[in-house]
Structure 1
């Protein structure tokens, strides 16, 4: 067991509530005040501790996945300083201080999750995602490891349709699993190049690429302008805005955290 330090203040439960808010997430299971996730074949429990989180088991393989999951690469201190200059963000930070958006540790998981969420409610997306995990993932005690590309590549379109995927989304997921896409190389590229390569993949549009930048690569200037929830949040808090995509400049260079805080502020309003 080890304690991983997290910059304070940190609201553990609010930061991780996306894993319960829209339904059950079988890869990230909340149980008795802690989060369970399978990392490198072992189920890991993460719970709040003084100054950070307590992680059991813990080693050099588990640590980077936990740090990614908790969004520790996001610079909240600098964002909070920036937010003081904007009345809406300043109020959001006041209400949500300590909210640190979690990230998707696995790039394949991030992209499959975005495909499941295309043009449906997040409640529906979480339901399909959980059935997908149960069908193709490797179960541990409470959580189930998110399915690997290799396992999914062996599935059929009918397998996925039975889980609630549309025919087209089933094609997208299988195509992604069978594609020789170098995720490690993507992480080294600038934002525009990442988007260019991802949008060249069938089934991955700009919306999916933007959320990959935001929720997997943690790029500070990622701004998912095509996201319906973000559009609602921006227009609710900034009624003078007429172009949500163009509005990103007012949040530069903290578009990613601004988007997450605006979404959370609308959700908890």
Structure 2
């Protein structure tokens, strides 16, 4: 995170906190700096209605904090405290609840529960501003339970009732009624949405997702199937997320998944250590808004990576599409029709992408794939060895032996993954990069990376030489890899898309 990116200034005389660049100019003696919005809120300050500091992109998970705190933060942003308490969270990272709260107050400025409450309250505020959903529907969507809890949360944090906040929304924030629930997703500028689409399009799983001008995928919320669309808002600050669902309960988690996949909270200035590198530096200057894509569905991404071993990108995507058709839950347009609580925001007939590009299945869960066994995966194009790997991983995830939300060091993550039959360093590093969010993961044996470096340097590059060269790219080798893949995709050269055996 760039220095001070999450910091805010609180004003003791007014009881509000602002962005550093806010046009308000209080006396310096009346201001105090806090490391994040949630820290200022924990100290009793309310967000400024002028600069709206709570609406900018940026993730608390990007702050410098000890590994257990980072692990707990990741769980909180994934909604863990919606269904668990602080004691369970603390046990997960190896601490008592009291000690974890002490660490959070020291490094973050707020307790885990305060961060979870802030997460729900700010999402509810966004729905108040950007939609015409009834307040009880907003409360359920944000995980607040009901209208009474929503009223209490808004009055406590913002100093206004939900009705007062809705009356204060700015011109242009009122939604257009053209189907689905449309939300803005802020990002840390610059952001290259086109580069994400170009990278993801050939890797998209047919029937589950597509990336042709707009990213579209099937989703499941509270057991209900639906469709999510992500497009560029073309304002230099936001993406536009549109959800088509029969219910909007608990959609806060899917908004988080969209942000995780696209990396909207990642700071593009963070890997500045690469600026002076003779290979990566020019690529970063040519594509300053590039991000490292992560995952919407962690298990789905793991299987897509395993399927990509020793085959082309297109073949891996096709075979994963076959898995979805055979073992996934079918999705119909009717699944995405809104319910009565959303009539003020979305029309009965959703504004959906062209039928040919609509997802038609949800990717099967780990339990479903484990239960299908070898027979359920036969005839889909996989070798028996690959089927065994897929089933082994599915069983480990389903049984809880492989925690895809764990926050371990890169070395420990790779070591654990390589214990699975059929998973070697290439797959392990890609999974560490895409699923676990490690910025320093680097699949040095990837042919695309090697050929990209050869093209840029004019010199042969084997895996060992690439590994040695990448040492100077630490701790952001994942960013370097993404820039190399991006450069290769735009070079108009047919670089190999198959990968070495694991």
TM-score by length of 2: 0.50
- The 1:54–1:8 alpha-carbon spacing in structure 2 relative to 1, beyond 3 Å, is same
Structure number with greater Rg is: 2
Cα distance, 1:38 vs structure 2: 1.5
SS at match of 2:263: coil
Q: Does 1:247 align with 2:469?
A: yes
Match of 1:70 among 238, 242, 262: 262
Q: CA deviation at 1:47?
A: 1.3
1:42 to 226, 240, 248: 226
Is the Cα–Cα contact under 8 Å of residues 452 and 485 in structure 2 kept in the other structure?
yes
1:18 is displaced (CA, Å) by 2.8
* Structure-2 residue corresponding to 1:226: 445
CA distance in 2, matches of 1:114, 1:22: 10
- Mapped to 1, the partners of 2:489 and 2:217 lie a distance apart of 24
User: 1:214, CA displacement in angstroms?
Assistant: 1.0
* Contact residue 451 and residue 461 of structure 2 kept, 8 A: no
Which structure 1 residue ranges, 5 or more long, are not aligned? none
Q: 1:10 aligns with which of 191, 195, 208?
A: 191
Tell me whether 1:165 sits opposite 2:382 in the alignment. Answer: yes
Q: Deviations over 1:188-217 (max 9, x none)?
A: 211111111111111211111100111112
Whether 2:314 is the aligned partner of 1:130: answer no
Relative to structure 1, the CA distance from residue 166 to residue 240 in structure 2 (aligned partners, 3 Å threshold; closer, same or farther) is closer
Q: How does 1:107-122 map onto structure 2 within 5 Å?
A: 107-122=298-313
* Distance in 1 between residues matched to 2:213 and 2:456, nearest whole Å: 35
Question: Partners of 2:378 and 2:404 in 1: how far apart?
Answer: 31
Task: Output the CA distance in 2 between the equivalents of 1:20 and 1:3.
Answer: 22
* Comparing 146-155 and 32-41, the one that deviates more: 32-41
Cα offsets for 1:138-184 (capped at 9, x unmatched):
23342232210111112132332311111111111112212234444
Q: Which moved more, 1:141-150 or 1:219-228?
A: 141-150
- In the alignment, is residue 198 of structure 1 matched against residue 420 of structure 2? no
Contact kept in structure 2, 1:116 and 1:129, CA below 8 Å: yes
Displacement after TM superposition at 1:27 (Å): 2.3
Deviation at 1:23, TM superposition (A): 6.7
Residue equivalent to 1:88: 279
Match among 232, 238, 258 for residue 52 of structure 1: 238
Q: Does the 8 Å contact 2:232/2:238 carry over to 1?
A: yes
Retained in 1: the 8 A contact 2:231–2:239?
Answer: yes
Where does structure 2 lack aligned partners over 5 or more consecutive residues?
A: 1-181, 334-357, 492-502
In the superposition, relative to structure 1, how do residues 246 and 181 fare at CA in structure 2: closer, same or farther (>3 Å)?
farther
Change (3 A) 1:27 1:91: same
Q: Relative contact order, CA 8 A, sep 6+: which one is greater?
A: 1
- Aligned partners of 2:381 and 2:480: how far apart in 1? 33
Q: 1:264 aligns with which of 482, 486, 489?
A: 486
- 193-202 or 182-191, which moves further after superposition? 182-191
TM-aligned CA distance change 1:75 to 1:23, over 3 Å: closer
Task: Return the offset for 1:258.
Answer: 0.3
Shift in alpha-carbon separation, 1:241–1:29, aligned structure 2, 3 A:
closer
Q: 1:33 to 1:178 in 2, by over 3 A?
A: closer
Deviation string, structure 1 residues 71-119 (Cα, Å, up to 9, x no partner): 235332122x333202332321233232223212333222211221111
> For the Cα contact (< 8 Å) 1:133–1:145, is it kept in 2?
yes
Whether the aligned pair in 2 keeps the contact of 1:74 and 1:218 (CA below 8 Å) is no
TM-score under structure 1 length normalisation: 0.90
